[in-house]
A and B are shown apart, each in its own frame.
Chain A
Amino acid sequence: MSKGIIIFAQNNDYINYGKTACACAGFVRKNMSKFDEICLVTDEYTLKSDEKLINEYFDRVIVSESSQPANIRLFKDTSSTPEYASFRNMSRADVYELSPYDETLVIDGDYFIMNNVLDQVWGSENDFMINCQYRDVAGRHGGNVSYIDNFSIPMYWATVFYFKKSEYTEHLFTLINHIKYNFKYYYYLYNCSGNLFRNDFAFSMALHILNGGVEFKVPRLPIEYLNNSFDLDDIYRVNSHNDIIMFCATPESTEKHILTRFTNTDLHIMNKKAIARCVDDLLENGEKI
């Protein structure tokens, strides 16, 4: 059974996602060991902009020019300088077709692996694993389960998920793709607000439909919680491949920050500009092929 880790990255005017994905891959290689390959799914434009670097961090590159309607989102860099930019996140639904592996772990290009717990996914009995529980590292959000709307279904985080090729997962990704192309209808059906296509929502809806719309439990990843650092936080310093100090925005005032250190624990850093500022340190602390 082949085992691969896939990271998606497509540059936009705001962020060099290709370089961020290299940093992320470096942390994967340094902290995990039981996979065969790390693979980047990207477009021609992103690949050309950093081809040498990408080839140093990824065992395989898949170029996918999947259709991408305009998807504009607000990017924040702490509480200052919010900026709108295009968000190319729709090729993730094609991962079932794109993945050359029997078992695949997909991680976001801003998810930094800092321990080896996710090595436990390989050889799982489950065809698909994803997490619903998360924790805001700054302690601003009290709950640990989000719903796609107050009166709707629980939200699963497509930040990290595992699948193996099977009938179940083939149907799941067929549904995710269908929702992707008709997401406005499904947003209406599931009482979702907003116009931004989100993989988290599409995955949650597809899981709900595929499981018959009745109460169900989607198998969880070996990690209990996703450690989410939202875009109001900032990186203070990268100490090593498993040690990062963050500025976490306080609940009462997002302009004030508390320093907190994260060691030996995965971290989803959503502030892309913060990653860009520290990307050289992140690359240096990761491991190349």
Chain B
Amino acid sequence: MSNKKSNTEQQERLAQALDFSNTMKTFNLSKNNLKVKTQNLLSYSTAGGSFIVDQSLISFVHFVVTSGKTEIKILDKNSIPIHIEDTVKFLEEISSLYFEVTNDYYNEYQKLRSSRKIEKVLEI
């Protein structure tokens, strides 16, 4: 009798787990799309060059600025050397882009993970 009950319980738990996998499928797809969107938005172009704005670029340019260099030649994402005339302005702009985009990513990610209902996330 107890064996039968435990079998039923196990099946229910299995059904719940499989049902949850559907939730995770939707969550993972939305999370991946958010990630790709963030990668596309973290792009900054100046002086004919295009840069992927990430922590290492910001750290490097911060080092350049604190070293007292006001202009530099730097490789962009296509390995083209680009002349940056004003390193302080460049640092300000890439930093503010990074914070703005990652802040949006954070907000959208929190909204996604705090809701089990896709209807809520999509506002449908």
Q: Which residues in A have some Cβ–Cβ distance to B below 8 Å?
A: 115, 117, 120-121, 123-126, 135, 137-139, 217, 219-225, 227, 236-237, 245, 248, 250, 258-266
Contact = CB atoms under 8 A, between A and B. Distances in A.
Contacts of A137: 33
Given A222-B43, A224-B40, A261-B30, A126 B124 contact: no
B32 interface: yes
Interface in B75-106: 76-80, 82, 104
Given A236-B124, A263-B108, 16 more contacts: A115-B40, A125-B47, A135-B36, A222-B45, A222-B50, A223-B43, A224-B40, A245-B124, A250-B25, A258-B29, A259-B124, A260-B26, A260-B29, A261-B121, A265-B36, A265-B40
Nearest to B42: A224
Chain B interface residue bracket vs A = 20 to 34
Contacts of B45: 120-121, 124, 222
A117 B78 contact: no
B36 to A, nearest CB: 5
B37 A264 contact: yes
Contacts of A223: 40, 43
Contacts of A259: 26, 118, 122, 124
Nearest to A236: B124
Nearest to A139: B29
Contacts of B77: 220
B72 interface: no
A262 B33 contact: yes
B64 interface: no
B28 interface: yes
B25 A260 contact: no
11 contacts: A115-B41, A126-B48, A126-B80, A135-B32, A137-B33, A219-B80, A224-B40, A224-B52, A260-B122, A261-B122, A262-B33
Contacts, number: 90
Contacts of B29: 138-139, 248, 258, 260
Contacts of A126: 48, 78, 80
B25 A117 contact: no
Given A123-B48, A224-B39, A266-B40, A260 B33 contact: yes
Interface string B49-60: 110100000000
Contacts of B80: 125-126, 219
B48 A124 contact: yes
Contacts of A225: 36, 39-40
B122 to A, nearest CB: 5
A120 B43 contact: yes
A248 B118 CA distance: 14
A28 to B, nearest CB: 16
A265 B33 CA distance: 9
Contacts of B41: 115, 117, 264-265
Q: Which 8 residue pairs across A and B have the least CB separation, nearest first?
A: A125-B48, A120-B45, A265-B37, A219-B78, A222-B43, A223-B40, A224-B39, A222-B50
Contacts of B104: 264
Contacts of A227: 33, 36-37, 40
A220 B82 CA distance: 15
A57 to B, nearest CB: 25
Interface in B1-48: 25-26, 28-30, 32-33, 36-37, 39-41, 43-45, 47-48
Which of B36, B43, B45, B48: most chain A Cβ within 10 A? Answer: B36
A88 to B, nearest CB: 30
